[in-house]
Chains A and B, each alone.
Chain A
Amino acid sequence: MDKLFIVSSSPHIRSNVSTQKIMRDVLIALTPAMIAGIIYFGIRALYLTVICVITCVLTEWLYDKIMHKKTTIDDLSAVVTGVLLAFNLPASASWWIAFVGSIFAILVVKQIFGGIGHNFVNPALAARAFLMTCWGARMTGGAFIPVDAVTSATPLGILKEKLAENLPSYMNLFLGTNVYGCIGEVSKIALIAGGIYLICRRVITWKIPVIYIGTVFVLSLIFGQDPLFQILAGGLMLGAIFMATDYTTSPITSKGQIIYAVGCGLITVIIRQYGAYPEGVSYSILLMNVAAPLIDRYTKPRVFGIEKVKKLKKRSEVV
């Protein structure tokens, strides 16, 4: 037998997890919220999502083509970015808002920094922030009001303008019925179902979403707000389950993830309480994204067999 075998460095077997499979699981987890969005906002929700996904994928493909790089669209991460961006738009947004936002997310936030794994903030959230800055009126407030509607604003908007008598019930908030907001954020039950799926599939751990939402709950209580209303209203569930858990822009260490999630919760509550905007989820996640590398650096786990005394030694060396 003179056959020559393949030689390589160990290990010789690998798990069947791949980037593509992870992204596919995220898309599956986003499906219930997508369906809820279509039910509550009509076919426009689907139409905007399709525009976002197609633009995201095309932008990535075109960029790779122009830069003579091997295309990375098969990892499905651009599709996830597209869906998440659409979920952050009001259903009344024009097609070109979705189009411009998608190009910004993929080109400026993701590809220019080196593509998947190299963006320092979440592309969909950065694009949302960009759209809010440029076309605020089309992204907030009145944009959420369907043509034939009677109510005036999102739950948090109502709260901010102190129109307490119009506040939706917990049940409405939980199911997303008779509540206005972005396409993907209204139905909490759909988002939680997606989150449970991701945790069961081990795509994410419970840490970031639970600690983030828990922090908002506790701080709202301290600030004298209705904590249940605060966690059910707005984009908190969408942000905590699908955006804050983005691998690339969240810390890799276990301790770091806790600090990151608490930070997200803290900033969210502060913006909601004192900020000019009714909602603070996207900015809080963006800010903590930027802090993630720093958090990682200071939360390195203790290496097996190395005692914590090292730091003290170093200090004594300096002295």
Chain B
Amino acid sequence: MNIKKATFKGGTHLTYNKELTSGHNVEVSIPPEEIILPVSMHIGAPAKPIVGVGDKVKMGQKVAEATGFVSVPIHSSVSGEVIAIEPRLHPNGQKVLSIIIKNDMLDTPDENMHPNPDYKNLGSKEILNIIKEAGIVGLGGATFPTHVKLSIPEGKKVEYLILNAAECEAYLTNDEALMMTSSDDIIKGLEIVMYVLGIDKAYIGIEDNKKAAIEKMVESAKELNVDIYSLATKYPQGSEKHIIKAISGREVPSGKLPIDVGCVVLNVATAKAIKQAVIDGKPLIERIATITGHGIKTPKRMLIRVGTPIEHVLEQCGGFTDAEKFILGGPMMGISHFSSETPVIKGGSGFLLLNEKEIDVSESKECIRCGKCVSACPMRLLPLMISNASVNNDFEKAEKYNAMDCIECGACSYVCPAKRMLVSNMRVAKREITAIRKEKAAIAEAKAKEAKN
């Protein structure tokens, strides 16, 4: 197998700070006293609780069921007793209905899911159902239900199955940790997906700052028809659209999905979860996350049970020192949160505690039209023009400059020497354009009705 090189045009280099955790062992987080399971840890309809207060649950037992096709169930990551079902603070900043389970520390396993070491005896439909029932979502952070992604619509064909291990975000090293510790599981998961999709070739993209991980993956994948790409270390190489561009040369058309150009992209952690669900019969109840930043005493990579209060995890890292910002996810696209009193959810790839030096709160100055945002934008937009239009409430102009194609990767804001809030202004423009479009559609509809009458 030869390792190929590839990348995309545009983008920027970050101050990665990956050395804070890179190469460290993955520690297993101590099980918490109680876990908090929000019914919404995925994109799509929230799950519906199927247990009541006072019920005894086992580890891996389903506690909330999917409500529709684009939805997944939720499983308890401990054994114990349900002590409350009430709204709790969710990492998205709102209060969301959550199931709170008191841990009896026995880890009594649930017997409802069966291992299927010979998965090839099963049909694609059955495997997809196992993936759904195991509560698997995209673990790169988007948390889109995986069984939906793998249900290829009629008339579409998958030509490129791409395993995303770029991990282009700064600070995060959890995908690297996963590749170093369980490359065989990842490849097994990839094999299952290839079987489900009925294809015999796959692609893996890894940024070239993870040389050891690339070697590990090459070693594990040598029996399989897989092309491994060593991608240039450049942000946002791991963006779905840009890893597709780098590996297949295809561009996902504006407003379309990867499958429209015959591509399916999965995160490495998702592949591992698929292997565990199908072959070992284990639902998604734990994940590896990076707990890092200069605002925490000992940065670590940990295997954490879903629902563990973040406070509990931070305590195991020695607590925070002079942290000013708490971020869920990576520093470029993650969400900052005012409180660390939320649980670890399925999509929680990183928990960052950044100090004042790292966050740079210097105020925005006048745009000097240096064009750095233009050359950094991976979507080839003119961020400064959209941002200025947005600030001036000229959303029509923002739309003309293709504001809706912005992927909010943050590269423009990162490079801006005037420290302008480009992404923030872009978001305002996108929100307003969507609102205007809706309004226009409503007016058109009303007019059509009137004409009928």
Contacts and interface: CB of A to CB of B under 8 A. Distances in A.
Nearest to A303: B402
Given A7-B338, A10-B336, A12-B354, A305 B366 contact: no
Given A4-B338, A248-B368, A10 B241 contact: no
Contact of B253 (A16, A301, A305): A305
Interface string B404-447: 01001010011111110101100100000000000000000000
A14 B336 contact: no
Interface string B316-332: 00011001111100011
Contacts of A4: 338-339
Contacts of A14: 360, 413-414, 416, 419
A9 B423 contact: yes
A117 B418 CA distance: 10
A252 B369 contact: yes
B374 A253 contact: yes
A247 B416 CA distance: 13
Given A5-B339, A13-B414, A253-B382, A18 B375 contact: no
Contacts of A3: 323
B253 A10 contact: no
Contact of B15 (A7, A13, A77, A251): A13
A115 interface: yes
Contacts of A114: 366
Contact of A6 (B253, B319, B325): B325
B297 interface: no
A61 to B, nearest CB: 16
A12 B331 contact: yes
A5 B324 contact: yes
B333 interface: yes
Q: Is the interface of A mostly helix, strand, loop or mixed?
A: loop
Contact of A306 (B314, B362, B405, B423): B405
Q: Is the interface of B mostly helix, strand, loop or mixed?
A: loop
B85 interface: no
B368 A10 contact: no
B32 interface: no
B126 to A, nearest CB: 35
A17 interface: yes
Contacts of A248: 368-369
B366 A115 contact: yes
Given A22-B370, A116-B366, A10 B333 contact: yes
Contact of B417 (A18, A118, A304): A18
A115 B415 CA distance: 22
B274 to A, nearest CB: 28
| Residue in A10, A16, A75, A252 whose Cβ sees the most chain B Cβ within 10 Å | A10
A11 B405 CA distance: 18
Contacts of B334: 10, 12
Interface residues of B, number: 69
Contact of A19 (B336, B417, B424): B417
B405 A305 contact: yes
A307 interface: yes
A308 interface: no
Contacts of B333: 10-11
A14 B170 CA distance: 11
Contacts of A10: 331-336, 408, 410, 423
Nearest to B410: A11
Contacts of A11: 331-333, 410, 413-414, 423
Contacts of B323: 3, 5
A65 interface: no
B391 interface: no
B378 interface: yes
B368 A247 contact: yes
Contacts of B43: none
A312 interface: no
A254 B378 CA distance: 14
B336 A12 contact: yes
Contacts of A201: none
A249 to B, nearest CB: 8
Nearest to B255: A305
B381 interface: yes
A265 B171 CA distance: 46
Interface string A215-256: 000000000000000000000000000000001100111100
A14 to B, nearest CB: 5
A252 B367 CA distance: 12
A7 B382 contact: no
| Residue in B241, B252, B336, B401 whose Cβ sees the most chain A Cβ within 10 Å | B336
A8 interface: yes
B361 interface: yes
B374 A305 contact: no
Contacts of A116: 365-366, 368
A5 B405 contact: no
Contact of A17 (B326, B369, B417): B417
Interface in A302-319: 302-307
Contact of B327 (A12, A302, A304, A305): A12
A13 B405 contact: no
Nearest to A292: B369
Interface string A70-96: 001001010000000000000000000
Given A10-B334, A16-B15, A117-B366, 5 more contacts: A10-B423, A13-B358, A247-B369, A305-B251, A306-B402
Interface of A: 1, 3-19, 21-22, 72, 75, 77, 114-118, 247-248, 251-254, 300-307
15 contacts: A8-B424, A9-B421, A10-B423, A11-B414, A12-B332, A14-B360, A15-B14, A15-B415, A72-B365, A72-B366, A248-B368, A252-B369, A300-B401, A304-B241, A306-B405
Give the top 5 A-B pairs by smallest Cβ distance, nearest first. Answer: A11-B410, A252-B371, A9-B424, A117-B366, A5-B326
